[in-house]
Amino acid sequence: MPEWRRRADSGKQQAVTSQSGGVPPAPQREDRILTLPNALSVLRLIGVPVFLWLLWVKADGWAFALLIASGVTDYLDGKLARLLDQYSRLGALLDPFVDRLYLVATVLGLMLRGILPWPFVVALIGRDLILAATLPVYRRRHLDPPEVIYLGKAATFALMAALPWLLAGEMHWPLAGFGRAFGWAFLIWGTAVYIWTGLLYLGKALAVARSIPAIPPVSPRD
């Protein structure tokens, strides 16, 4: 086996061991698909086009309820994964993907409705696009992307709490004033932390690019 292959395999194993607290994850957990947390993530994924349609037809009450339900199920799938010991590689990829998709769809929809100013949309979507551009850094080294930073999860939660209340602030009901105030407070705080954690992820990618050499593609002769 070539020396660079041995170094890469060793580095990848160390990264996996470090991320799991010193114990490599059990292989059987990575193959699970039919789990309750994954089912909740799939339901949230189906809810994205439904939400955009509700926003388009100005069924704001139903759109607000759907965003709240999405936030609750986002919280529940992580809790259930721990309580039921139903971790899976699919879940680790699907949950943050649905989070980002919901966030992008919501901010674009609210911008088109004139509820959310475009600078916030540029900042939030631009952050995710920049981080997506760093993924090849890990792929070229046969490494998994870094684990989700807890602070980043908190920022996502704050944003997902802010967006439905901004929508609620446009509705004709007694809590419209509260919705606007609550939504703007969480939007400003969540956006600041979201960008800050994006800089932390970017720093991690740059550190990996500097310290670990990329693995050349395997030729057929190898």
- What is the reported pTM? 0.69
Cβ-contact 55, 91 below 8 angstroms: no
Smallest CA-to-CA distance from 67 within 81, 58, 55 is with 55
For every one of its 222 residues, what pLDDT tens digit does the chain have, with 9 covering 90 and above? 444 444 445 554 444 444 444 444 444 445 567 777 778 888 888 989 999 999 999 898 899 899 888 878 877 776 776 776 767 776 677 777 888 888 889 899 999 988 999 999 999 999 989 999 999 999 999 988 888 888 888 898 888 889 889 999 988 888 889 889 999 999 999 999 999 999 999 999 999 999 999 888 776 665
For 149, counting Cβ atoms within 10 Å of its Cβ (0-12 exposed, 13-18 middle, 19+ buried), the class is middle
Q: How many CB atoms lie within 10 A of CB 145?
A: 18
**Cβ proximity of 77 and 37 under 8 Å:** yes
